[in-house]
Structure 1
Amino acid sequence: MSIKKSASNVVEKILTYEEQQAKINEVRSSLGTLSGKSSVYCSDASIARHLTARNWNVKKATKMLKETLKWRSEYKPEEIRWEEVAKEAETGKIYRSNYVDKHGRTVLVMRPSCQNSKSTKGQIRYLVYCMENAVLNLPPHQDKMVWLIDFQGFNMSHISVKVTKETAHVLQDHYPERLGLAILYNPPKFFEPFFTLVKPFLEPKTYNKVKFAYSDDLNAKKIMEDLFDMDKLESAFGGNDTAPFDINKYAERMKEDDKKMPALWGDPQSTLNKIPSFVSTKLGSDSESSDNEKTDSSKRCGSEPELVSSDDSKPLAASSGHPTEDVHGTKPEVFSSDNSIPVAASSRNPAEVV
């Protein structure tokens, strides 16, 4: 084992494969005999993600994993079906894109201004459905996803500390190391103090994965080109696809995915067991093909969103990046061309202003 000191003088463990496997086995032994879906969930890859989230501390990772197993047994995220969340989805406030990034990661697009619900419970339920669907569609040897958050039309009524806090809790505690990158695209000036307010809810690793991008920043434009096929990327993020979200086509795609979900929990080669990215080889620019969920409608959101109170709005992005990144960044930064290592912060960086 070697150690790495981050920019914040936090010691990170860098283990050999044999040391990693020994800790995985130790966690498995601590969990005791598992059956059913708990047994399927606790693959070596899943245990490794929990260990990574807790800096390979066996006791903390075991506690975290037990809490997730309890949550999954009660919340039953894998049993959520489209019909249950369709109302939440109809404006396109969150959807899985029909493309992956050039590292093969599934992409969730989020549009806070398209919020159409005042129910925190409903919003989180739909977020969990989207997370499960994104995991279902991960390609071989990839275990992370990307969040693209479009702030066009965002205003104060879309801010909710309550929902954002719950989003961070679900993401960090029950989907550890699933998020590879979160890009906040064109966040407005008033978002700065809010981001500072919610920072305490974010673990350092999560916070460090949040990247800011601005359409008038040439460096950010190049990074988007390095990460995505620009012909498939939505125009809201600087891409060439101008067609809006089509709820009807998307619904059909999700219904087809729902049919695949039961098999995921009985297949030892499923995406639940994918080797974590820190021990796997990197992918090239594999991309998936599917019908484009777009129409010629002039509306940006699927339907007119209801006005929502400041306490009940759509969750905002929380996180993403490499597990070997420095875990205590003091500022969210514009991301570099390798999509994970922060570069000198832009003058537009919220953390530099507040």
Structure 2
Amino acid sequence: MTEDLAPINEEDFRQLKERMKLIADADPAQYHNEYSLKRYLRAFKTVDNAFQAILKTNKWRVEYGVANLHENKEIIEKYSNKARVLRHRDIIGRPIVYIPAKNHSSNDRNIDDLTKFIVYCLEDASKKCFEEVVDNLCIVFDLSNFTLSCMDYQVLKNLIWLLSRHYPERLGVCLIINAPTFFSGCWAVIKGWLDENTAGKVTFVNSEMDLCQYLIPDILPTDM
């Protein structure tokens, strides 16, 4: 499997880099490298839209305290069974975020704290990208032993918002494995919140053989 990314207009890319020079002092950590700029251009289509989206992300990162989330040990430990960034990668080198849905209940979470944990995981996974090779992620939702009490639409809305606004084009593929038949009703709701591009990245995997097209099954955790 290889990456099939939309081409970037070189003139748009040059213009966006010029605009970024104007805010260099406001982006001391240089969070937005050339790969980041290309992701924003792919997602937001025009130089103006991409630049405005970058400004909003920069503001959000500061106000949300993204750089310091790793210091919040209490939240990280509390929600550590909800998701994990794996040591191993998928077939084409993407970092993997593994989410065992059976461990979740909408009745046993603080939405603000859990959203911070999600951002922490996205940050951790993004830092593991070999951007020269592949700069997006593989998210695996494992629905084994999934029940309707595990379904949390608000958390998914928050994840979709984060990916679309502040981690654009970071999602490479979303694998849904071990889905029970009744999940089709949940998916009909969730799919309505996704744009066509993102919906196209979601793949239901129905067998271990199919999963092998994306990753080695043995790398998935058995202790969560």
TM-score normalised per structure 2:
0.86
Distance in 2 of aligned mates of 1:136 and 1:89? 20
> Could you tell me the percent identity over the aligned residues?
22
Distance in 2 of aligned mates of 1:192 and 1:123? 25
- Partner of residue 124, structure 1: 115
Structure 2 residue 216 is matched with structure 1 residue 224: no
- Partner of residue 86, structure 1: 76
Distance in 2 of aligned mates of 1:154 and 1:175? 27
Equivalent pair of 2:115/2:158 in contact (CA under 8 Å): yes
- Partner of residue 90, structure 2: 101
Q: How many residue pairs align between the two structures? A: 215
Q: Structure 2 counterpart of 1:106, which letter? A: P
Change (3 A) 1:38 1:185: farther
Q: Structure 1 counterpart of 2:181, which letter? A: K
Higher-Rg structure is: 1
Equivalent pair of 2:27/2:58 in contact (CA under 8 Å): no
Equivalent pair of 2:85/2:97 in contact (CA under 8 Å): yes
- Partner of residue 49, structure 1: 39
Post-superposition offset of 1:13: 7.0
Distance in 1 of aligned mates of 2:67 and 2:167? 13
Helix, strand or coil: the match of 2:118? helix
- Partner of residue 147, structure 1: 139
Equivalent pair of 1:88/1:123 in contact (CA under 8 Å): no
Post-superposition offset of 1:162: 1.7
Equivalent pair of 2:79/2:114 in contact (CA under 8 Å): no
Post-superposition offset of 1:38: 5.3
Q: Structure 2 counterpart of 1:207, which letter? A: A
Distance in 1 of aligned mates of 2:40 and 2:131? 20
- Partner of residue 309, structure 1: none
Post-superposition offset of 1:198: 2.4
Helix, strand or coil: the match of 2:98? strand
Change (3 A) 1:26 1:87: same
Structure 2 gap segments, 5+ residues each: none
Structure 2 residue 56 is matched with structure 1 residue 67: yes
Post-superposition offset of 1:93: 1.8
* Structure 1 residues 110-129: Cα deviation after superposition (integer angstroms, max 9, x where no partner): 01211264211111111110
Post-superposition offset of 1:37: 4.0
Matches within 5 A, 1:189-208: 189-208=181-200
Q: Structure 2 counterpart of 1:139, which letter? A: F
Q: Structure 1 counterpart of 2:55, which letter? A: K
Post-superposition offset of 1:25: 2.6
- Partner of residue 162, structure 1: 154
